[in-house]
Amino acid sequence: MSIQAITHVEFHCADATQSAADLGAGFGFTPDAHQPAPQPGLHTVHLHQGAIRLRLSSATREDHPVARFVARHGDGVAVIALGCTDPQAALERAERHGAVVLDRAGGLVAGFGDVALRFVADSPAEAGAASSEHLLEELDHVAICVPAGELAPVVQFCEAALGFHRIFGEYISVGEQGMDSSVVQSGSGAVTFTLIEPDTTRRPGQIDTFLEAHDGAGVQHLAFRTRDIAAAVRTCRERGVDFLSTPAAYYDGLTARLGETAIPVETLRELDVLVDQDHGGQLFQIFVRSVHSRRTFFLELIERQGAGTFGTANIKALYEAVERQNATASV
């Protein structure tokens, strides 16, 4: 009954066709050969790239649940589908540990705010999914913001209801802002949630802003793994994707802090890519500038060269970059 992987992510959008076109044009996602049968009041587009599967839906009538989700939160992740060896047993375990069942036949339970979890049968990735032809290979992790005071209960829920393990935790201070974080992971190691709550005793910051603009807990970003982040960034930029910038001072001290990097520092500087390392190796990451109307959801690209952690040394750089974006947007 254990959770093996994220089989797909379901987005609720104002316009699924346009969102799918944007993901295709910017990041290389391709529509599935076989699209779902039409449902009353709903338009859905299925996309894929590597082992990543996305399901984008928009409502064709105002009273549809998808329309209500978008009205409350804007476009965003509504369902995370968890591939299980025994979906029914996984649902029953979650229910025993307090999960609210939303759709028993559909294997759907409440997760984080209005983000639901769907238990489905795990299926092997398509042959050739990990191909050099793809810019993006798989979903590395999901970052989720929760209101103050809810981090510990959410971690407990993930441990008890989902069988995950807490593998990391850190308090993050960025200027006058503060936030607490925990990382939970499935026993398979293939499903990772980074959970973040704001410290309300300090100046309100980006997590507070997200929770207000999103109207509650939700997915802040998805991190897509790539085999070659330099090539992926260059290609996406050529296609019109805009990434967050990094101050030059960040790169000035890299060699002293990390020693030699697998990607030359000048290439990292050129592309605004961040780097961190742990005992296993190095990781490289960059964050896409949010195009969400509420400046909530965004994407991350990440390349791992042996590293198994999540670039915690780069979090300060990320949040400073987002601060600059928000300041520019408010002018």
Instruction: Give the model's pLDDT for residue 125.
Output: 52
Q: Look at residue 50 and tell me if it is in a domain.
A: yes
Question: pLDDT-based confidence at 214, cuts 50/70/90?
Answer: very high
Q: Look at residue 188 and tell me if it is in a domain.
A: no
pLDDT tens, 301-327?
999 999 887 766 666 666 666 666 666
Q: Look at residue 280 and tell me if it is in a domain.
A: yes
User: Could you tell me the CATH number of the domain that includes residue 295?
Assistant: 3.10.180.10
Give burial (CB, 10 Å; 0-12/13-18/19+) of 329: exposed
pLDDT > 60? residue 197 = yes
Name which residue leads in pLDDT, 110 or 329: 110
Q: What are the b/e assignments for 196-228, b being 16+ CB within 10 Å?
A: bbbbeeeeebbbbbbbebbebbbbbbbbbbbbe
Instruction: Give the model's pLDDT for residue 133.
Output: 75
Whether residue 244 contacts residue 172, with contact meaning beta carbons closer than 8 Å, is answered with: no
Q: Look at residue 130 and tell me if it is in a domain.
A: no
Instruction: Give the model's pLDDT for residue 328.
Output: 64
The total of structural domains in the chain comes to 2
Which of 63, 87, 121 represents a domain boundary (last residue)? 121
Contacts of 151 (CB under 8 A, 6+ apart): 180, 181, 182, 195, 196, 197
Q: Look at residue 141 and tell me if it is in a domain.
A: no
Range 226-239 average pLDDT: 98
67 Rama sector, left if φ>0, alpha if ψ -120 to 50, beta otherwise = alpha
Question: pLDDT-based confidence at 236, cuts 50/70/90?
Answer: very high
Kindly state the percentage of the chain with pLDDT values over 90.
Answer: 77
Which of 121, 153, 173 represents a domain boundary (last residue)? 121
pLDDT > 60? residue 129 = no
DSSP structure class, residue 68:
H
Instruction: Give the model's pLDDT for residue 127.
Output: 39
Q: Look at residue 146 and tell me if it is in a domain.
A: no
Q: Which residues span the domain enclosing 37? A: 3-121
pTM of model > 0.85: yes
Average pLDDT, the chain: 91
* Helix H or strand E segment including 255: helix 254-258
pLDDT tens, 199-210?
999 999 889 999
pLDDT > 70? residue 84 = yes
Q: Look at residue 25 and tell me if it is in a domain.
A: yes
Range 210-215 average pLDDT: 97
User: Which two three-digit tokens encode residue 242?
Assistant: 């805009």
* Type of residue numbered 66: V
pLDDT tens, 6-43?
999 999 999 999 999 999 999 999 999 999 988 999 99
Q: Look at residue 254 and tell me if it is in a domain.
A: yes
Which of 100, 121, 142 represents a domain boundary (last residue)? 121
